[in-house]
Amino acid sequence: TLLFFLPLSPLKALKVPEFGKYTKELKKLIEESDHILLICHINPDGDAIGAMLAMRRWIISRGKEPAMISPNALQKFLLWMNDVDRVVDFHHNPAVGAELINNADLIIMVDFNTTSRMGKAEQLIINSTAKKVMIDHHPDPSAFADLVISDVSRSSTSELVYFLVNGMEGCEFNDSDFITAVYVGIITDTGNFEHGYYTGDTMRTVGHLLDRGVDKERVYNHIFSNFSPDRIRLKGFALHSRMVVHPELHTAYIWLTKEDLDRFHHVKGDTEGFANVLLTMNGIVLSVLFIERTGFVKMSLRSKGSFNANELSRKCFNGGGHRNAAGGEMKGTIHEVVNHFENTLPSFRKELEDAAEEMMK
Ligand code: 5GP
Ligand code: MN
């Protein structure tokens, strides 16, 4: 169609000079390197994998073939993507992963802002003498890379990658795997445009991706409509039997024990999105999902408006993330951790009330 050939005029409104500088620097590093390695964060979501695969396609178009590492296994709902089978799972193949890290002369880290998000690969990466690039959209990046491309105004790292590659006039990288990977990242981090930091730029990007033929139904079905009956039942059980609501603190949470998870034959990814559901309750601005693991508890926090889930997670759970979506983990049983949360929560009363008031305006 005609649209396909239009210049990327709406994208010109972006901070083009800045992106130009970053892209130029990145291209230079890629040109100078022979062994390029991409790495994403542990428990990679669609944005981490999307950004990594998109970067790989672009780097291939520049004549280099980068390797890819994930700190641990990929969730099933991402396995349909082209080239995910090339991602080395560091947890299961530490020797292969270590060799890739030690041979690399350029390491590009995507979708995280602290080294601890690389799991067991962390120390090897820190010790590596390779040049390092970080491409990310989380707040407060720690500057452990030679080149930090951080833009918190982006819905996703994948959107940021799209702008690095196509944000300048005359740039037209339309590889179909690239387009699909970027779209996966954007719909993952926005919950198919339901939450997160999507902007006019995000929607203009999505417009370009659709113009270029991204199969939105196919991608949506893989990411969001792929649940097992057990997963649907687990969600019903969690909402019915494991939900606690504190209306006066505008907070709701779900706690699931290991036995609960076993009962519904839980597989990784099954509890994705549970915390978001709680935020659809009238007056609720903070939701938490507590999942019991062996010896520790993993939590997912979601919030609305001004309430800073990132800050709460940093203070309370040694975690982090974005203002409205954060995570963390803590040693102890689920009851200990939930108690700790119950005891800490009242100290955030003012912030919770303010956020709730703003929401109801
Ligand atoms: P989720 O709840 O979907 O696992 O994560 C939500 C957000 O919080 C993501 O942006 C993720 O990067 C971040 N996050 C999740 N778990 C942790 C954690 O243990 N530590 C830190 N720093 N961030 C996390
Ligand atoms: Mn992301």
Task: Return the closest-CA partner of residue 334 out of 303, 302, 289, 301.
Answer: 289
Indicate whether 192 pLDDT > 60.
Answer: yes
Radius of gyration of the chain (CA): 21
Compute the distance from residue 6 Cα to the ligand 2 centre, in Å: 29
Indicate whether 201 pLDDT > 60.
Answer: yes
HSE, CB side, 13 Å, CA atoms: give it for residue 142.
10
Once rounded to an integer, what is the mean pLDDT over residues 98-116? 97
Q: pLDDT band for 9, please (50, 70, 90 cuts).
A: very low
Angle at 264 between CA 261 and CA 270, to 5 degrees: 70
- How far is 25 from 147, CA to CA, in rounded Å? 8
Pocket test for ligand 1, best of 49, 78, 117 (most atoms within 8 A of CB): 117
- How far is 329 from 50, CA to CA, in rounded Å? 25
Handedness of CA 305, 309, 311, 312 (dihedral sign): positive
Query: Which ligand minimizes its atom distance to the CA of 185?
Result: 2
Site of tokens 């097992």: 228
Which ligand 1 atom sits closest to the C-alpha of 320? 22
How high is the pLDDT of residue 17?
52
Site of tokens 């689920």: 334
The proportion of the chain whose per-residue pLDDT surpasses 90, expressed as a percent, equals: 83
Q: Is residue 185 in contact with ligand 1, taking CB distance under 6 Å?
A: no
Q: Rounded to an integer, what is the distance from CA 168 to the centroid of its chain?
A: 25
Q: Is residue 299 in contact with ligand 1, taking CB distance under 6 Å?
A: no
Indicate whether 340 pLDDT > 90.
Answer: yes
- How far is 66 from 85, CA to CA, in rounded Å? 14
- How far is 42 from 329, CA to CA, in rounded Å? 13
Once rounded to an integer, what is the mean pLDDT over residues 226-232? 94
Give phi and psi for 170, each to the nearest 5.
Answer: 90, -5
Q: Is residue 300 in contact with ligand 1, taking CB distance under 6 Å?
A: yes
Q: Is residue 196 in contact with ligand 1, taking CB distance under 6 Å?
A: no
Task: Please give the structure tokens belonging to residue 98.
Answer: 């270590």
Once rounded to an integer, what is the mean pLDDT over residues 173-193? 97
Q: Rounded to an integer, what is the distance from CA 114 to the centroid of its chain?
A: 13
- Mean residue pLDDT of the chain comes to 92
Once rounded to an integer, what is the mean pLDDT over residues 220-240? 96
Q: Is residue 326 in contact with ligand 1, taking CB distance under 6 Å?
A: yes
Pocket test for ligand 1, best of 114, 138, 291 (most atoms within 8 A of CB): 138
Indicate whether 156 pLDDT > 60.
Answer: yes
Once rounded to an integer, what is the mean pLDDT over residues 14-24? 69
Tell me the angle at which helices 334-344 and 309-317 cross, rounded to the nearest 10 degrees. 120
Give the residue whose CA is nearest to atom 15 of ligand 1: 327
Q: Is residue 288 in contact with ligand 1, taking CB distance under 6 Å?
A: no
Q: Is residue 161 in contact with ligand 1, taking CB distance under 6 Å?
A: no
Predicted model pTM: 0.87
Other CB atoms closer than 10 Å to residue 59's CB: what's the count? Answer: 21
Q: Is residue 322 in contact with ligand 1, taking CB distance under 6 Å?
A: yes
